[in-house]
Structure 1
Amino acid sequence: MNKTSNIVLALILGLLLLLGSLYLGYFVSREEFWTLFGVFSLLFVGAGFFIKLYGKSWQWIFFLGLLIRLGMLLTFPKLSDDYARFLWDGELVRIEQNPYSEIPREWLEKNQDLTNPFLDNLFELMNSKDYYSVYPPSNQLIFWLGSLGAKMDPWQGIVCLRMMILIGEIGLYFIFLSLIKKVNIVPSRLGWYWLNPLVIFELTVNLHFEGLVLLTLIATLLFLQKKKILLSGLMVGLSVGLKLLPLILLPALFFFVKKKQLIPFVLGLFGMLFICFAPLMYGDSLWNFLQSVRLYQGKFEFNASVYYLLREVGFWIQGYNTIATLTKILSGLTMVLILWLSWSRSGKGFKELIHTWMLVYLIYLVLQPVVHPWYIIPALGLSLFTQSKIFLAWSWLIIWSYMAYSNPEFTENPWILTLEYLPLFILIVSEYFRPRKDENLTQNLSL
């Protein structure tokens, strides 16, 4: 293929990916599952072709992914309504109210003199009217900026939040590229993050912040690789400040950091944690925040795997949903497995730390009662530094979870869950438990 034909083919394939993404972002709702599934799958396959043909050129990958994201700037989130809570919390901060002090319904009833049409509109759109905010203070800063940009218009607030996420995504791309070069991984791996339709739609379109979490995690790894231990501690502390979940990565990190590096690492980590969480010390904020976290872990169920199987056992034995007990058991098991894995894989080098982080995420997600599609994005990014294809496959398979939204009751179909999780667990067994002829590969991938 000559150079001209190569460019023409890239432009045609890129245009098709752009048009398909725009159609999905602007015109397809989550109730239209089969259209969503079909277009999403075509975009996934198209991204694979583009990466195979042009993955060696990070510029082609970057500009196509950036163009698709820019094309989504004006769309309204159709696959998630979490943005309403983001802007609600941000507006409370803007009018100098504590977003952790009361649940939205109570606040609205008690503060009629402070409310405005913007808050009234957000309240109607919100899916968490009766829960305290579960978002850490670092997120509240982002929400506040979104509310400032909204100027009483939810659509403007959405665009403002999207711009901040996009800036973070661009930063992530180049930090990702820098780390990939330092650990001698082919740049085409980055394409599976940057052009992945799950990443584009769950972050840029649906306004979730897992991309910012991944940004801080990759920055943590880059500073570790450069021996800038204090900065590494600051970055991982910030990741916890954005989402509590990166706490599960800390044991592996403590086992990896050398004794002489512990003091600057701990100073950076706990210094950032204090900055991020100090606002929760005001009034009942910390108690209410933790109450929502506990409620989230003990009440909600969505797109689970192992949990659903054990829940059926609970129904058979007890005759009712044993979620309260089962979530405690699985949380304890998760903690034990993460500690064991972090300890057993300690001292095996920098790339193995990244692999361990990916496996920690895998353990957590397969044992959780709630696995929203955007939850797997940080693990997907980490997995691209390894030989594992589990999270790459899951980033397509997880689109089956949106089938639940195609019916008014939002009920999940066990057969659809099987279509998601059966291939996933077959791949897990294939990668980690099946004997390999290549001993080096087995050593790299085995638990």
Structure 2
Amino acid sequence: MKHIGSGGDGGPAVTPALLWVVLAGAASGLAWLGPTLATLPAAVVLYSLWTGALLLLVFRFHGGWMDRTAVILGGAVALRLLFLPTVPDLSVDPFRYLWDGVLSASGLNPYRFAPSDPELVHLHDTVLFREMNSRDFHSIYPPLSQWIFLLGGLSWERFGWPGAFLVMKTGMTVLELAGVTALLAAARIWGVRPGWVALYALNPLAVVTVAGGGHSEGGLVLGLGVLAWGLARGRGGHAVAAGITAWAGLGLAVISKGIPVVGVPLLLIHHLRGVGWRGTAVRAILGGVPALVLSLPFMASGLPRGALASADLYVSLFEFNAALLAPVRAALEVMPGGSALEAGRLLRWVFLALATMVILRHPLASGRQVMGAYLLLQGLYLVTATTVHPWYLLWALPLVPLVTAYRGAWLWASWAAFPTYLVYTGVPMAPLSLLFWGGIALLAFTAAWPWIRRRLLPLAGWRKARQIQSFIPDRGLVLDLGAGEGWVGSALAREEGRQVMAADVEPFLRCDLPYFVFDGRSLPLRDGAVDTVVLSLVLHHASDPDALLREALRVARGRVIITESTYRWEWERWALERVDRWVNRERSPDAQRWARAPLTFRRVDQWVQAVERGGGKVLLSRRLNRVGHRHHLLMVEPATRHGPRP
């Protein structure tokens, strides 16, 4: 087991035991604080310590207690028991939850009336009505959440506030812990390290949101956990039962929060491609029974139009920690006929367009691919949403342990969401939002960089080829020496009458070109074997650039075209070395090789001298760009001209 900080530095070793103490201490302190708005600055510090300890335990220590299912589940229960007695004031949503529960306990459909309606005037003197917001809006909370609200409503007459609140959030926490159990079962089937599940089970955002704040995401976590468990069991003799389980889980998630409905087309396509229409219908219909049964008592008279209208207003009017709302609103204000009020609706259409692309193009063959697509859809929804409260992260966070893609961005979000509560203490939203979305953007870009790079490399090759195209004869044989993936040579080969072959020290080629591997010093070609040699950003990588340059001049009957990253000042060379190692380390699976690889950056005059020493003559020396590193072109010909190529 690896210990951090132990050894000769004299500092204390960071051990799992120490981190568990930090985690437990920070959690206890946070529970003691409430957390409440009055104690929020201190709460953010403790929340951060808790998050840091959890991440170190999961990412640095493998094979210990953190990988024992009993420890994870026991820790999840203990942390939630710590927060169940608390009464935070970070959100007024629980007052609305209990209001709905009181209506249900009184025999009224909670969807039928808005709280401000005169039919409910007998409840207007309660603390629930005084403390809730959005009194003119109908309830939008789905049926599974309403059943848990009912628990609080039934205890309202006896316990009042906050007793009924504690009863209600206990019910939410039980559902959430059942979801954690299902996630652990799914992880075991998929061979996922149990410690990864701790990223949700012991996450402070999850604990503070459900067990502390009583938010209605508890049922959603149960649904997502059952969905993951069903997908994990999807192969073998239990395929039908597993499929029914997956649909049941998705149904429970939808009737808990609504937003997981984006997973319906993903699961539908997954099963259609695997078992066809009939098998999919059986699984979906039987799996939907639990959600239908739980919903019918609230839907017997039909879902009131007011609830649907309220949902539309929630999306359009409310705003908190939005990523794109401000720039979209500003753009609409300056457009002829544009209205800033349409920003929310426009962002919804943007989400629908992006979601359609994901649904149609994302791989969905395996259960974990379905999970990955679901996380991507939830991420897109949050990016385009007008309101992103901290508890919204729980719409996706339970599945983050099971999917590696963008895990860092989701974990950052789970930490950076909590400080956004500071806006209620007078801190401006802008820096808090920048912290939240800026970190997400950076980590998401880092995770997506390999995918982005694979698509940028052909474009970069085309750009490099265009820079030297006019210096290469239209006809003849061109050797792309140090070709890498071959994108430069491939672009040059588009010229009719020009033949291109590629060479490098390893088989990196990804293009359809004649190709050979050599030792980096001597080419297996006779003198004057090719008409033109291209060395595009190659020489500084060569173990012996002078020897490679001599070989290029030897085999070239006509010109040698050299492009190089050059420098004038020492700080430029320092920067070139570090950027080059980073870029090329990302291009190769052997990161250590690139860390040790030689780099020989030179000034322009030094490359000219190397050409002359190698038996060449510089015909043209030109900088290829005006901004950025000094990208320089040397057009060279051998001092001794070879005869015509046979």
Work out whether the TM-score is over 0.5.
yes
| Residue aligning to 2:472 | none
Gaps of 5+ in 1: 2-7, 440-447
Are 2:83 and 1:78 aligned? no
> Aligned residue for 2:307?
289
Task: Identify the residue that residue 48 of structure 1 maps to in structure 2.
Answer: 55
Q: 1:13 to 1:279 in 2, by over 3 A?
A: same
Q: Which residue of 2 aligns with 1:236?
A: 250
Does the CA contact (< 8 Å) of 1:146 and 1:158 recur in 2?
A: yes
For 2:181, the equivalent position in structure 1 comes to 174
CA distance in 2 between counterparts of 1:230 and 1:47 reads 35
Structure 1 residues 71 and 256: CA distance shift in structure 2, 3 A: same
* Equivalent position amino acid for 1:203 in 2: V
**Structure 1 residue 301, shift from structure 2 partner:** 0.6
Cα deviations by residue, 1:230-269 (Å, 9 ceiling, x for unpaired) = 2322221221111110111111111101314211123135
Q: Which amino acid aligns with 2:101?
A: G
Q: Deviations over 1:142-199 (max 9, x none)?
A: 1111222342412211211222122223212221111101111111101111111111
Q: How does 1:251-330 map to 2 (within 5 A)?
A: 251-257=265-271, 258=274, 259=276, 260-268=278-286, 270-279=288-297, 281=299, 285-317=303-335, 322-323=340-341, 325-330=342-347
Which amino acid is 1:373 matched to? P
RMSD: 2.6
Q: Percent identity?
A: 23
Q: Per the alignment, do residues 301 and 406 of structure 1 end up closer, same or farther by CA in structure 2, a change over 3 Å counting?
A: same
Q: Which residue is 2:415 aligned to?
A: 396
Q: 1-side partners of 2:248 and 2:41: how far apart?
A: 44
CA apart distance, 1:383:
1.8
Corresponding residue of 1:99: 110
Matched with 1:5 is none
Partner of 2:587: 437
Find the counterpart in structure 2 of residue 198 from structure 1.
205
Q: Compared with structure 1, are the counterparts of its residues 9 and 422 closer, same or farther at alpha carbon in structure 2 (3 Å cutoff)?
A: closer
The Cα offsets for residues 376-413 of structure 1, whole Å up to 9 and x where unpaired, read as: 11312212112232211211122232121112xxx743
One-letter amino acid of the structure 1 residue matched with residue 27 of structure 2: S
Deviations 1:70-127 (A, max 9, x none): 1222111222221111111101111112222221122xx4445x549xx712111212
Equivalent positions of 1:121-132 (< 5 A) are 121-132=127-138
Match of 2:127, SS? helix
Q: Distance in 2 between matches of 1:25 and 1:438?
A: 47
Whether the 8 Å CA contact 1:146–1:160 is kept in 2: the answer is yes
1:83, 1:438 → 2: CA distance?
52
- Name the structure, 1 or 2, with higher relative contact order (CA <8 Å, separation 6+): 1
Q: Write the distance in 1 (CA, Å) between the matches of 2:211 and 2:338.
A: 40
Distance 1:438 1:163 in 2: 51
Amino acid at match of 2:325: Y
Which whole-Å CA distance do the structure 2 matches of 1:214 and 1:317 have between them?
42
Distance in 2 separating the partners of 1:426 and 1:33: 27
Is this contact kept in 2: 1:85–1:126, CA < 8 A?
Answer: yes
* Deviation of the 1:12 alpha carbon: 5.6
Q: Give SS of 1:208's match.
A: coil
CA–CA distance in structure 2, aligned partners of residues 384 and 32 of structure 1: 31
Q: CA deviation at 1:276?
A: 4.4
Q: Which has the higher helix share?
A: 1
Seen in structure 2, the aligned counterparts of structure 1 residues 385 and 176 have a Cα distance that, compared at 3 Å, is same
Residue number among 387, 398, 401 corresponding to 1:384 in the alignment: 401
Q: Displacement, 1:363?
A: 0.8
Q: Counterpart of 1:425?
A: 441
Contact 1:400–1:419 (CA<8 Å) still a contact in 2?
no
TM-score normalized by the length of structure 1? 0.87
- Tell me whether 1:331 sits opposite 2:352 in the alignment: no
The farther-off stretch of 277-286 and 376-385 is 277-286
Higher strand share: 2
> CA separation in 2, counterparts of 1:172 and 1:300?
30
**Is the 8 Å Cα contact of residues 138 and 276 (structure 1) preserved in structure 2?**
yes
- Per-residue Cα deviation, 1:338-395 (whole angstroms, up to 9, x for no partner): 1221221244322211111111111111111011111111312212112232211211
Q: 2: CA distance between counterparts of 1:21 and 1:432?
A: 33
CA contact (8 A) 1:32 1:406 kept: no
Which string of whole-angstrom CA distances, capped at 9 and with x for unpartnered residues, describes residues 8-41 of structure 1?
Answer: 9766644443332233233242354422321211
| Counterparts of 1:437 and 1:301, CA distance in 2 | 41
Q: What SS is found at the alignment partner of 2:371?
A: helix
* Structure label with greater radius of gyration: 2
So what's the TM-score if we normalise by structure 2? 0.61
Unaligned runs of 5+ in 2: 2-13, 234-238, 454-585, 590-646
Mean alpha-carbon deviation: is it higher for 420-429 or for 344-353?
Answer: 344-353
Pairing 1:106-125 to 2, within 5 Å after superposition = 106=117, 109-112=118-121, 115=123, 120-125=126-131
Local SS of the residue matching 2:126: helix
Q: Deviations over 1:58-79 (max 9, x none)?
A: 3333323322211222111222
**How many residues were matched structurally?**
425
The match for 2:68 among 57, 78, 84 is 57
Corresponding residue for residue 488 of structure 2: none
| Inter-CA distance 361–38: structure 2 relative to 1 (3 Å threshold) | same
Higher alpha-carbon deviation: 64-73 or 366-375: 64-73
Residue 386 (structure 2) pairs with residue 406 (structure 1) = no
Contact 1:251 1:339 in 2 (8 A): no
